[in-house]
Every structure is written in C-alpha cells, then in structure tokens.
C-alpha cells in the first residue's frame, strides 16, 4: 500500500504518510490538512488540501498546495483509483480556470436588445422563481428540464431540484458521449459498463478507444503494464492513435463498421467451435438464434465492409480463442460506438456477446465487474424525501432503450422546438456547442420561456440564456463525497482549496438550494452541503472530518476478487443474446449487421468526418485555458488529418489550408497529411471552434466538429450519431 493509500482503519498512519511524501519532495513539512505550517526561510504559509480535478469525468484526486492563498502545485493522489498518483496535462492546466480573466463574476440577465446586464442574486433568484412557477401553472412541471454533466454536488442537487418541482426531466451529457454504449451493454449483460483487466491480459482489443489520447492516468498505467507483460494489444481505429506506443497492431478499419468486425470474429469462433460452450449454456439465453443469425457473416463478407483483409479477421479471432479467458474486447468509451452511428447500440451489444464467447467475465486478464460503494439511507427528518415523480422523462417512449439515468437531451431540444418544454436549466454543460447542429439547437432554445445556465465562463450555451448564474470554480468549493468504483472502491473528497475569488460567485449546492427556495420548494433543502456530506459519509462508517483529513478513504472489505459469477441484471437474469426490449423497440432480437446511415462515396470526393480527443484538451471546456492552448498553437493541433495518398490525389500538401464543407457548414482549416488515417475518413480534433468572444484565448481557433453534424438521433437508443456525416475538402485558391 502506498503512503497515500488510506483506509479508515489506517488513516492516522496514512496522514503521516502524506507528510512524509511531501517532505521527501523537498517541500515544507506538513501535518494533517488545515494545520498550515510556516516556512521558516520565506515566512510563507503552506496548506495542502485534497481535491478532485474537474477537467473531465475521471475526477482524479490530488493534493493541492496553496502558498499564501495561491495555488502553486498539484500532486496526484495515489489512493484515488483513477489517478493512482498521476494527473494528466489537463489536470494541471485546467486548474488555472480559477484565475482566468474570462470567469463569470456576477449573475446576468439578457435585456430586450439581447445584451447581458449584471444583476444581483436576489433579483435573479426571484425572477427565475416567478418564471418557473408561471411555467408550472400553465404547462405543468413536465415543461421543465435540466441538462447536467455529473459533478459530485451537481448531480445530486440538480436532480433533487427538478424532482422537487415535480419534473422527471434530468439529463446527462450521455447522448453526445456514451449513451448507446451503456444502453447496449445493459441489454446484453444488465450492466452499463465493465472494465477490461488489460494489465493481466494475454490479448486485449481496443475498438475506438485510446488510453493515450483520451486519458485516464490509471488506464495508461494499465496499458503500459500490459505491454511490459507481453500482452497482445490490438488497436482497431481508422486512425493510428497514440496508444500505439504500448500496442502491437493497428487495424485501420473503415469507420462505422466495427459491428461487422465483431460479428465476423464471432462467426469464426462459433463455426470452428472455439467458444466457451459450457459458459454460454450456463449463463445465457438466445445463443442458438444468434448463432444462426450470424452464420452468413464470414470474414470474407466483413472484408468488403470493414476494409480489413479476411485473413486478418480470422487470425484475430483465432488469437482471441488462444488467449481466452485472459482476453477481451475492451469496453471503449465514446469514439467508435458511444454515440457515433446508427449501429452504435448494436455494436455495444455484440461486443458483450463476443466477450461471452470467450468466457472471460470476471476471469484474470478478462473483463471485470468492479465493486463500488454508495451512501446508505439518511435520516428522513433531516433530509426529507422528495415525492417520487411518476411521469416519464421526455424521450423515454420514443427512445426506449436509452438508459433513464442519462436520457436523450436532444429530444428535449425537439420538445423545446415544439413548445412542450418551456423552461430549461444547464449545469456544467455546453450543449449548444457540444451536440449536433449547434445552429439548430440555438433556434430550438430560442422557443423557451426560460433558459438558465450555471457556468464558470461565457460558454456558447450561456450566450443563449436568459439568465447566467456564475458558479465559483471547482477549487473554491467543497462538494458532496464522490464514491469511486475500482479494485478497491473508495470515497474521495473535492474540498475547498482556495478562498472564493469573485465574491458574487456561489457553489452549486447554494445556487440550487436558493433556486429551490425561490421556486417554493425550499422545504426539500433544509440542510447544508456539509451536513449532507457528513450524513452520507456516516452511512458508510466514516465522517466529513475524517475524509477532509485524508482526502480518499478506501473500503478494503469490498475489494474485488476474481472468479465470481456476476449477477446478470437483465430481465431474464442471464446474458441476453436475444433481447425482448430490443425487439419491441424495432430492432432485431439479437444483434445483426446494421448499415451506418451514410457511407462516403470516394468517387465524388466524400469522406466520413471522425473526431477524437487530444491529450491536452477536454471537450469544449479547456480551449480557453492559455497554457493548454499554447500547446495547440505550437504544434498546429487544430489541423484536420487527411490520408497521404488521398492528399496527393487532391493536390494537397502538409500544412496547406483547405475549405472543409458539407451541407451543414464550411470553414477554412489547415491540413496534416499522414499515413496514419484510413483513406475514407477525415479526422478533426474535437476541442476547437469556440464561438464565444468572451473566451479570449479559445475564440476563433479551429473549427467545431459539431457544426458539421446533422441533428438526428440513433433509432431506439437516442444518441446524437455524431459521425453519421460526410464532408469534402477543397484546397484554398482552387
């Protein structure tokens, strides 16, 4: 156990460990949190506070060093399962948001000329409260909705606020991220996700997932370990991503065709009797139906669709059979089938079924279901229960496979257009830049009677709002405890690192409590965030004070053990090769080949536009961060990628400027010419094209991927289908 790995029982020892590590690193000596020490030579006061990064959903834990009130240093928390002692560049760079000159500092209201005016909190709250009540009186609480990107306090308070008003409409970012993947997995295995045991595997295949670009530090460490252990690591990606540093093979698949690859590999395993028949018989339903449905999906068939030679598809399947059960297809996150295509949900289902053929669930080196801990029941006298909202969320009927924990907020935009949703709140979400067809979204949102955005900077979504409410940055607030699953599950704290910098900013818990009061439902919020945090922590045997001392507390008694047969939480209690819900939603009962909605026609110069993360940026939210944008500018990272042979044919050289266009949008952009991309695709990094002039660093750099994506939703699953789009390029001056 590392010096930072603290358990409840060992926490006193652990606290000393923190001090030892810090002292060893040449810093001032430290006692436990809160007891600041003075540096004798400089007379500066140093405090060390545990917090969680807010630059992406991994929310890595770290220790923040604050010298005389200024943030000076971050050190990754070794006890945090996602950080394992390391942070990525974004974790460091994004911390500067606290000091950004572009921060929102006061509540604002849009006037009749469409300009924002600073107003006081009292006015903002009472006007929003009045409008919410007018909407409820006229249209009912279903006309209200919330879009939020889950944050420790935010996910609790936003849902409680909406439910208290009587609305079930609480949405995450899923429709533009991993909604199809998690919904498809749930149909097949009754769980929204799993984790491949990459480090201990003999073979792992990544389908559109790059640990080295779309970083989580613990994942990068696992991949490096796998590489050192000699695992066979295969990257299926139209683009040679940076994970190749720790991988053996690149399979440059035609984008949108991963389902065909999985079906054909499954076909090989079944035809050659190389699958775990005993495991399948004991744990699943519908296998025979699927086996006959995919009998025609031979490697030769798949070659014509995927562009991968049949011999390679067969070889990969045989290598899997050889390596099983210490092998799996990794679950991915977003890139290939989180929300990209008309076949994304079905690709997710097929992936789980392929892993089932390997018999790899909960096997060393296979695919694991890791434990997590959650808060127990709280005293209802102090934390009154909000009455259950019976109504279904918008989109639940039209997209029945979409997990209700995420929902499809694109459908909410449709409902705004149709006048059924009248009041829309956004928390930590830039939907108007990060979802398909931002221009249409702006038109849809213009129909709202009330649009409220809670943000830290003037996002594109905030620009459209009636009211903008400024949150203090994540370094200036303490939040509810965050429970994190893993080999050893933990609970970790985002504590307040810095004093509030702009006095008129407030944290989410205060904003939503005060909004609730202003809307007449304050009776459901008679507690402070500290009281709630403490109650949640006591329900799992610790306390806020204890967690504040150490930052992360683990639950070793809940640690993962290999070999357990999972409880399949599907309607049949088994792994479902066939799903009644899928059939009822108009899909095939078992996953079969589904064509992408559009396919590029090379002869007329069409390419599929694909996206992907860069290691130094997150979505739309870090482009305004100067230290990170400097890296973009130094390396020309906003360029699009074009295959070298294609470029030669089109007379385009590396560094040339082209016009990228389709029926939706067009714009100038420089080109990186490379052999690292499939010739049918053009890659555009997904972090640029900011249209908010108040973001002085990000504004106008590069193009926004989403401008080129039509507004449409994946049948049954409800995702944005962000890569069902074609583009062409023309050299500037031709």
Ligand X SMILES: Nc1nc2c(c(=O)[nH]1)N[C@H]1C(S)=C(S)[C@@H](COP(=O)(O)OP(=O)(O)OC[C@H]3O[C@@H](n4cnc5c(=O)[nH]c(N)nc54)[C@H](O)[C@@H]3O)O[C@H]1N2
Residue 437 touches which member of ligand SF4, ligand X, Mo ion, none, C-beta under 5-8 Å by kind: none
Residue 55 touches which member of ligand X, ligand SF4, Mo ion, none, C-beta under 5-8 Å by kind: ligand SF4
Q: How far is the CB of 310 from ligand X (least distance, A)?
A: 18
Residue 53 touches which member of ligand X, ligand SF4, Mo ion, none, C-beta under 5-8 Å by kind: ligand SF4
> Whats the size of the chain, residue-wise?
734
Q: Give the separation between CA 102 and CA 353, rounded to whole angstroms.
A: 48
SS3 category, 572? coil
Q: Give the separation between CA 171 and CA 156, rounded to whole angstroms.
A: 12
Contact letters for ligand SF4, residues 256-295 (x by CB under 6 A): ----------------------------------------
Q: Which stretch binds ligand SF4 (CB under 6 A): 50-58, 65-73, 126-134, 245-253?
A: 50-58
Q: Which residues pair with 146 in a beta bridge?
A: 170, 425
Question: Given the rule CB under 6 A, which residues bind ligand X?
Answer: 54, 56-57, 149, 173, 176-178, 207-210, 213-215, 236-239, 241, 253, 255-256, 258, 332-336, 340, 427-431, 433-434, 454-457, 459, 471, 473-474, 610-615, 617-621, 686-687, 704-706, 723
Q: Which residues pair with 483 in a beta bridge?
A: 491
Size of the site for ligand SF4 (CB under 6 A): 14
Residue 60 touches which member of ligand SF4, ligand X, Mo ion, none, C-beta under 5-8 Å by kind: ligand SF4
Q: Give the separation between CA 164 and CA 175, rounded to whole angstroms.
A: 25
Residues 6+ apart with CB under 8 A from 704: 433, 438, 620, 688, 689, 690, 691
SS3 category, 218? helix
497, burial (CB in 10 Å: exposed 0-12, middle 13-18, buried 19+): buried
Residue 90 as a binder of ligand SF4 (CB under 6 A): the answer is yes
Among 88, 165, 491, 690, binds ligand SF4 (CB under 6 A): 88
Q: How far is the CB of 334 from Mo ion (least distance, A)?
A: 5
Q: Which stretch binds ligand SF4 (CB under 6 A): 4-12, 49-57, 406-414, 543-551?
A: 49-57
Size of the site for Mo ion (CB under 5 A): 2
Residue 616 as a binder of ligand SF4 (CB under 6 A): the answer is no
Q: How many CA atoms lie within 13 A of 401 on its CB side?
A: 35
Among 5, 18, 60, 393, binds ligand SF4 (CB under 6 A): 60
Among 108, 128, 170, 177, binds Mo ion (CB under 5 A): 177
**Based on CB atoms, which residue is closest to ligand X, 8 or 672?**
672
Phi then psi for residue 105, to 5 deg, are -120, -20
Query: Tokens 């030769």 appear where?
Result: 300
Q: Which stretch binds ligand SF4 (CB under 6 A): 121-129, 152-160, 211-219, 600-608?
A: 211-219
Residues 6+ apart with CB under 8 A from 540: 373, 375, 376, 491, 555
Residues 6+ apart with CB under 8 A from 719: 174, 175, 176, 179, 180, 338, 339, 340, 344, 345, 402, 408, 713
Residue 91 as a binder of ligand SF4 (CB under 6 A): the answer is yes
Q: How far is the CB of 229 from ligand SF4 (least distance, A)?
A: 23
Secondary structure, 3-state, 339-407: CCCCCHHHHHHHHHHHHHHHCCECCCCCEECCCCCCCCCCCCCCCCCCCCCCCCCCCCCCCCCCCCCCC
Residue 175 as a binder of Mo ion (CB under 5 A): the answer is no
From residue 453, give the alpha-carbon distance in Å to each of 96, 460, 512, 717: 22, 10, 12, 27
Judged by CB under 5 A, the chain residues 324 through 353 that form the site for Mo ion are 334
Residue 87 as a binder of ligand SF4 (CB under 6 A): the answer is yes
Residue 215 as a binder of ligand SF4 (CB under 6 A): the answer is yes
Using CB under 5 A as the criterion, which residues of the chain lie in contact with Mo ion when the complex forms?
177, 334
Using CB under 6 A as the criterion, which residues of the chain lie in contact with ligand SF4 when the complex forms?
53, 55-56, 58-60, 87-88, 90-91, 215-217, 618
């Amino acid at each position: 156990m590392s010096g930072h790995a603290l358990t409840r029982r060992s926490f006193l020892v652990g606290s000393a460990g923190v001090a030892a590590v810090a002292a060893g690193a040449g810093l001032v000596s430290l006692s436990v949190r809160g007891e600041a020490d003075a540096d004798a030579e400089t007379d500066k006061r140093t405090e060390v506070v545990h917090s969680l990064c807010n630059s992406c959903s991994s929310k890595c834990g770290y220790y923040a060093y604050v010298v005389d009130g200024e943030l000076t240093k971050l050190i990754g928390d070794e006890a945090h399962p996602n950080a394992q002692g390391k942070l990525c560049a974004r974790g460091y760079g994004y911390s500067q948001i606290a000091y950004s000159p572009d921060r929102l500092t006061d509540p604002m209201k849009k006037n009749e000329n469409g300009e924002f005016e600073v107003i006081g909190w009292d006015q903002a709250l009472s006007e929003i409260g009045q409008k919410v009540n007018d909407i409820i009186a006229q249209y009912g609480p279903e006309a209200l909705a919330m879009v939020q990107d889950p944050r420790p306090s935010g996910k609790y308070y936003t849902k409680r606020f909406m439910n208290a008003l009587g609305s079930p409409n609480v949405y995450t970012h899923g429709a533009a991220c991993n909604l199809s993947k998690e919904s498809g997995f749930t149909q097949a295995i009754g769980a929204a996700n799993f984790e491949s045991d990459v480090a201990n595997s003999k073979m792992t295949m990544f389908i559109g997932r790059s640990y080295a670009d779309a970083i989580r530090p613990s994942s990068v460490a696992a991949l490096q370990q796998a590489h050192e252990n000699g695992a066979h690591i295969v990257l299926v990606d139209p683009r040679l991503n940076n994970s190749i540093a720790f991988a053996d093979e690149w399979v440059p698949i035609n984008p949108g065709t991963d389902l065909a690859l999985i079906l054909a590999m499954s076909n090989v395993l079944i035809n050659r009797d190389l699958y775990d028949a005993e495991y399948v018989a004991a744990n699943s339903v519908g296998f025979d139906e699927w086996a006959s449905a995919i009998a025609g999906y031979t490697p030769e068939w798949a070659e014509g669709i995927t562009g991968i030679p049949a011999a390679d598809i067969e070889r990969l399947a045989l290598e899997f059979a050889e390596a099983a059960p210490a092998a799996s297809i990794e679950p991915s996150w977003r890139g290939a089938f989180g929300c990209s295509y008309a076949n994304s949900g079905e690709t997710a289902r097929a992936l789980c079924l392929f892993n089932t053929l390997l018999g790899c669930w909960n096997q060393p080196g296979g695919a694991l279901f890791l434990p997590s801990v959650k808060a127990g029941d709280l005293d209802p006298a102090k934390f009154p229960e909000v009455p259950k909202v019976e109504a279904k969320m918008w989109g639940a009927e039209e997209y029945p496979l979409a997990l209700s924990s995420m929902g499809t907020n694109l459908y909410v935009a449709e409902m705004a257009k149709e006048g059924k949703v009248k009041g829309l709140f956004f928390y930590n979400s830039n939907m108007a830049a990060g979802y398909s067809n931002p221009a249409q979204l702006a038109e849809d949102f213009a129909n709202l009677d009330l649009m409220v955005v809670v943000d830290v900077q003037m996002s594109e979504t905030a620009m459209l709002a009636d009211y903008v409410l400024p949150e203090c940055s994540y370094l200036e607030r303490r939040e509810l405890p965050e429970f994190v699953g893993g080999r050893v599950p933990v609970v970790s704290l985002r504590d307040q690192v810095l004093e509030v910098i702009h006095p008129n900013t407030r944290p989410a818990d205060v904003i939503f409590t005060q909004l609730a009061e202003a809307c007449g439902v304050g009776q459901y919020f008679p507690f402070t965030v500290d009281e709630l945090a403490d109650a949640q922590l006591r329900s799992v045997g610790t306390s806020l004070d204890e967690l504040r001392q150490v930052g992360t507390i683990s639950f070793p008694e809940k640690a993962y053990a290999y070999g357990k047969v999972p409880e399949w939480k599907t309607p049949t209690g088994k792994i479902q090769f066939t799903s009644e819900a899928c059939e009822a939603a108009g899909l095939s009962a078992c996953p079969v080949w589904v064509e992408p909605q559009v396919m590029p026609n090379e002869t007329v110069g069409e390419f599929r536009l694909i996206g992907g993360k860069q290691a130094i940026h997150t979505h739309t939210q870090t482009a305004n961060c100067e230290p990170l944008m400097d890296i973009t500018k130094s390396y020309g990272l906003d360029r699009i990628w074009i295959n070298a042979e294609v470029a030669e044919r089109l007379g385009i050289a590396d560094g040339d400027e082209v016009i990228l266009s389709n029926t939706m949008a067009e714009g100038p952009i420089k080109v990186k010419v490379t052999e690292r991309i499939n010739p049918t695709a053009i890659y555009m990094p997904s972090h640029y094209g900011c249209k908010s002039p108040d973001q002085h660093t990000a504004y106008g750099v590069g193009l926004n991927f989403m401008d080129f994506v039509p507004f449409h939703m994946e049948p049954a699953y409800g995702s944005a289908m962000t890569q069902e789009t074609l583009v062409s390029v023309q050299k500037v001056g031709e």
